[in-house]
Structure 1
């Protein structure tokens, strides 16, 4: 059966490559054969015409041909040669002939319909049964990792029903012998449609592969070619990491998170920054998960490099709108990063050597076919590079470095039970001129248990832990000190998924425990005279219940409706300061202190979060979509900077700080052309946010025990238009995206001090109305690929002082409006050239070289604008550029 399947696959692969020479109808047999093997005769015909024969040599066995032919047609010759044998033949088209074994049942099947699909044979075609249901069993696997797929759907069109695979990827069906159309699908992989000929009991194995749109620069993966039209969700994109590696990258280090900024609606404030701004949101409004464990800082060295190893990462999915009810807790987006599972069949490794860091990944089976591991590590050598080869006087005393280590274990415990466990640790350190130091580290871990209750009912239980710590030090004082802060999080979640013919129902719940460490200052030296200062830790708990139902009502309408109920409480031990008036004013207005004991509830918040997505199909290549979601966000990043820094403080909603509540409305038009070669879309969105956090002018956020007096909450709104044109086939392919967006804030308090911009709307730091991205690649030869990215965006806002005055020789600006100016527009061109070193099929290892130039024309893009005084004490603006030159790089990649 397997040989028959492989034979058929070979036929379909060949069809696109035959020459336009002599067809079947043109072939004439003029020769005398004397007991020649049929295989030799067919080979002779192939050599002298464009006709090709497809068969399993074992089927022809010792069949010999004898006789003299003069101008005989190929059909009449085949009739003679297959007479009195078990062979039959089928003219697939004008150039291809399929030989197969005879059977009474097979002769009744419609082979003419095989042109557009592959087929599977179950049972013995030479001994077919009829009239009695037989058992058809199978295994569905991930074609990249060879691991069995849990929850893959096997649907039989003729029966209008099907089943799902268990934890071992196995399924079983009872079918009468005959001809069937089967569709096999999985939520993260490409659907396979097969013709299945059932002759008797038997089984088969089928591998599913990533759904890719070949873009060379970035491949949008995990999506069928027409998922943008036929899928229910909008604003959701999945990136395949293998092709992200081909993108031009800063100093050759692949950045998985920054690659998301090539998508419409996703941006960042500039070079050397941490975090994403999705549809006008702040960096803390994105939930980033690594195998279900939350990540609080996704960058190395303050945003220049990603913490995720490209060799250990499987795919990245971002939800900008229509977020399903099983996900939540952030109001702008959810980004799911999935680590690869190790290969359960064989050992392997891959890695790369670059200018600033090297990486290595090793994977393999623990018990062949049952369990696997994968481990990946990276280490930078920036200091060595600058100390040894790039000796710049201005960099003396500067130190920078990072390392990370990740791993994953995967166990198939039984046909019904599976277990995965993941872990990640990293550390960064940065010293500036021996005066200041910055250090931060991530520690993540997760485990997930999957269980198959029945063929269409699956369950999962997961536990995840995240710990993020960061420190900053002042080293230039006689008595140096450091300030540390952090956040810890423990998640427990349970999910149940039920599959039916047209419906996927998912429900579950979970709880999260937070431990916020707002700040601690201590001396560095053993004989320090610094008095330690420690703000009390803050604890809180967030719980939720949800249900999400995805229904294909008919060929035209589909709907996904969900409801999430979230509950939050902050609890002691803690002291809460009471101020005169309804809201905290100045510290001088403090009137009392409320004391809460351990686990005593301080404040609770809760709310319903409805989700709704609709799809209406106008035709096979066109659809309209709409979505709405409400999300509560209970934790906040308190910051008065544009990017995440060690000066920022994570804290939960509390007695005074209320949760963010966001409502987002989206509509979109999706149209594909030329058999999904061209994809176009237009999406419009509006987002309204309540209780948005901002800070008073001149706010002191570090080690402030009365931080609530420095914060303001108000309204925010964001709206925009996202356009995308993408070509996914051919040597030259890529996309163009344009985003028009605005993000505004309004902070109107009870007094002047708690009011910003006189209570009028003002643009946020992340307001960049125009954003254009061009990404493309050209397959110049079989070994050379050229890729490029061009980005342009409006400069982000900053505050311009109306005037200024000198105080002790220092210029102090007088600001009357917030964000009333803009830095210069941003634009950058990157190029990369990838060379595959060998095209040999049989080789010890695969390797490639990537030559890239980041910021080709050396644009000095402004990161910020600052002011200095002149002789008449008038402020003069200067711009600061982080990367003001072209940065070439070379990286060697290998895979064993």
Structure 2
């Protein structure tokens, strides 16, 4: 009996031992990347903590499993609080944490761990997300791009699209950086060539990052400094999670769309690895929603290693591969009878086959030069390939547009063919040094690009949707002929891009910080030299109140597809934007702030398309945009977070073709967002988000019937009488998410339900004109559900 009791006590004590983990990390200076010695690290609400050693490293052992917030403080630095640190059995949570330099005007204000915020070097329009906030964001389904759409001044194409447009500009106008590597774009399923052979302005549908891949996010809605360029609207910097240097973990998420697998841990004493593989297939969801049949799938594969070579050098390697494919064949459109070609989201007569991929490989070496400076060298290769085929099915219809016999009627599978292959080898070197009252950043970028582009029309095609000015030569013919000689293009060339920049963050007094900077760019394909002066600053009225501002010139490279599509002798110019921002911020507490900002933009040399049926572009466009954003944001700490925001915006363009000003496609005058998340205990999380915005602009038009004048082929035509002269119905969506988490000795089990647009209101994103019936098919989305489970070992 005594032996049995001893055995039971052994297992009980073993179980108790298994219910603890550890926290370990390194604290460094945000500006110099030097270790912070003697920093205090305390786990809130329990009597556990540690102090950093001479290498900035701390360790807290025997932490009971659970979810904690940690407070880090050190003399001369802003106190930082990190929430939602999850401790699992026999695992060590590891993180490298940066502290911002202290400011006497901040008094006793503690700053939560959100990258870039409360940094005098980025005083305006700066927002960030933690990994847990991205994952919890209702309706985002763990997608970083969808999570960003809740920020003030940011809009998207609605629930069907994830690409963002910021403050009166488009989805192609944002700077994207991943681990300091510039990216072509961050989206899947961007329909290049869908819109009469030209790009869809809505952008992509899903980001290329699976949930819990991105560890830190910094977003600036304009006014970013001279370090970043070649795009003019906003800056989005993403940091991929580094591998845990202490212990291994494995996780898998399985949901309605597919699966994601993650491995994270050390592979040697100095090197850690983080690897992720995701595959998504929409067949089940398409059947569940009874949507238009097609095959849609994509994958995202990433590996990142981090090596502490020595005390001064840290090297990271990253490789990403993001393939995708979607198709709609004659078998997909001919799946049954009594199908109405006019139905919303129908597109019943469009056939396509789309394949593309993105590849990135990069090395990032951070070297500490001395106690006040460091240099970062980045070498990378990136490529993007697109291969699109578009065809048409010509079904037999009755008078109401019902397909009589799906398998009767001609079809073509390769009317338009587009290939767009881009490759770039680049090098960036960025030097940072702190002085007594200032911080200097200077750098150079060098890129060699190859663009191999081809757009082919197999025969003369007919376009039944046109603007009035496009048929001026023959006003009695209510259609356009898409001529291969004016559409086809072949381009295969190399170009060099170079940049140099310097910016200074100068602390003029305890209250006033000024950030002047200047950037030089050379763009090889446009053979253009550009100089971009920029200035931002912050003045602290008190320990919690500040006035912030930014102004500058921003140039945007011409899109590669536009460059490649031009006839011989027509060279595009880069677009120019002049921005100004003035804001007021109140930091009520470490996790609660109010921000109000007004902004204005002036646009010059905007690329415009005089005739939508031709690839010829000019830089005759101009325009302006202005607006104001107001937000009250409660960041994630303790057990809840939320946001209330309102944005007003006007964005106007003028193609200078005699028709005057018109609303830009992302002119959204009013946007309201309400979002909240509550965690009553360690098992349940409840989140909700309500979004309202003014409907997006759409063309005003008239319909012409029997435009071919032949009895055996009835066709209608859409004549656009006013570009963006009308609007879609207002966008309204209520998203709800519920998460359930339970920790076991072997790891963590999670389940979630994420419902986009729970009321199933059909929010229209775009319109498709149907020449066979003369009606409009709305493109949009109602309810979009997903659910799944996640296991972490």
TM range (shorter): 0.7 to 0.9
Shift of 1:467: 0.8
Which of 782, 787, 790 is residue 890 of structure 1 equivalent to?
Answer: 787
Which of 775, 793, 806 is residue 675 of structure 2 equivalent to?
Answer: 775
Note closer, same or farther for the CA distance 1:341–1:229 as it changes in structure 2 (3 Å cut). closer
* Aligned-CA RMSD value: 3.7
1:555 corresponds to which residue?
A: 510
2:145 corresponds to which residue?
A: 257
Within 5 Å, which residues of 2 pair with 1:283-362?
A: 283-302=171-190, 303-362=204-263
1:806 corresponds to which residue?
A: 706
- Output one character per residue of 1:712-762: Cα deviation in whole Å (capped at 9) or x when no partner: 5311211110000123466554111110001111111xxxxxx1xx24121
2:299 corresponds to which residue?
A: 403
Within 5 Å, which residues of 2 pair with 1:248-647?
A: 248-249=138-139, 253-273=141-161, 275-302=163-190, 303-368=204-269, 370-383=270-283, 398-434=294-330, 435-474=351-390, 480=414, 482-519=417-454, 521=456, 535-570=490-525, 604-636=527-559
Within 5 Å, which residues of 2 pair with 1:13-412?
A: 151-152=33-34, 154=36, 182-183=74-75, 190=80, 209=97, 222-223=113-114, 227-228=117-118, 232-249=122-139, 253-273=141-161, 275-302=163-190, 303-368=204-269, 370-383=270-283, 398-412=294-308
2:195 corresponds to which residue?
A: none
Note closer, same or farther for the CA distance 1:148–1:522 as it changes in structure 2 (3 Å cut). farther
- Asked if the contact 1:153–1:184 (Cα under 8 Å) also holds between the matched residues in 2, the reply is no
Unaligned runs of 5+ in 1: 1-141, 158-164, 172-180, 193-205, 213-219, 524-529, 571-602, 640-647, 702-708, 749-754
Note closer, same or farther for the CA distance 1:655–1:511 as it changes in structure 2 (3 Å cut). farther
Shift of 1:619: 0.7
Aligned residues: 639
TM-score w.r.t. structure 1 length? 0.65
Higher relative CO (CA 8 A, sep ≥ 6), structure 1 or 2?
A: 2
- Output one character per residue of 1:345-370: Cα deviation in whole Å (capped at 9) or x when no partner: 221122311111110111221212x1
Counterpart CA distance in 2 for 1:693 and 1:155 is 53
Counterpart CA distance in 1 for 2:632 and 2:506 is 29
- Asked if the contact 2:558–2:573 (Cα under 8 Å) also holds between the matched residues in 1, the reply is no
Note closer, same or farther for the CA distance 1:232–1:890 as it changes in structure 2 (3 Å cut). closer
2:726 corresponds to which residue?
A: 821
Which of 759, 765, 769 is residue 863 of structure 1 equivalent to?
Answer: 765
Note closer, same or farther for the CA distance 1:359–1:868 as it changes in structure 2 (3 Å cut). closer
Q: What secondary structure, in the 3-state scheme, does the structure 2 residue paired with 1:259 have?
A: helix
Q: What secondary structure, in the 3-state scheme, does the structure 2 residue paired with 1:810 have?
A: coil
- Output one character per residue of 1:465-521: Cα deviation in whole Å (capped at 9) or x when no partner: 221111112467567474321322222111111123432111111112222223155
Note closer, same or farther for the CA distance 1:210–1:520 as it changes in structure 2 (3 Å cut). same
Counterpart CA distance in 2 for 1:650 and 1:338 is 34
Q: Which has the higher helix share?
A: 1
Note closer, same or farther for the CA distance 1:210–1:492 as it changes in structure 2 (3 Å cut). closer
Counterpart CA distance in 1 for 2:132 and 2:716 is 51
- Asked if the contact 1:518–1:651 (Cα under 8 Å) also holds between the matched residues in 2, the reply is no
Shift of 1:656: 2.4
Counterpart CA distance in 1 for 2:57 and 2:685 is 40
1:21 corresponds to which residue?
A: none
- Asked if the contact 1:515–1:537 (Cα under 8 Å) also holds between the matched residues in 2, the reply is yes
Matched, 1:665 2:576: no
Unaligned runs of 5+ in 2: 1-21, 40-51, 59-72, 83-93, 101-110, 191-203, 331-350, 393-410, 459-483, 709-713
1:697 corresponds to which residue?
A: 611
Shift of 1:152: 3.6
Counterpart CA distance in 1 for 2:498 and 2:305 is 28
Q: What secondary structure, in the 3-state scheme, does the structure 1 residue paired with 2:754 have?
A: strand
Shift of 1:285: 0.8
- Asked if the contact 1:154–1:183 (Cα under 8 Å) also holds between the matched residues in 2, the reply is no
2:595 corresponds to which residue?
A: 681
- Asked if the contact 2:220–2:236 (Cα under 8 Å) also holds between the matched residues in 1, the reply is yes
TM-score w.r.t. structure 2 length? 0.74
Shift of 1:271: 3.2
Counterpart CA distance in 1 for 2:779 and 2:700 is 18
Counterpart CA distance in 1 for 2:633 and 2:679 is 17
- Asked if the contact 2:380–2:426 (Cα under 8 Å) also holds between the matched residues in 1, the reply is yes
2:11 corresponds to which residue?
A: none
Shift of 1:190: 3.6
- Output one character per residue of 1:197-246: Cα deviation in whole Å (capped at 9) or x when no partner: xxxxxxxxx9764799xxxxxxx974389x45967521111111222111
Note closer, same or farther for the CA distance 1:541–1:185 as it changes in structure 2 (3 Å cut). farther
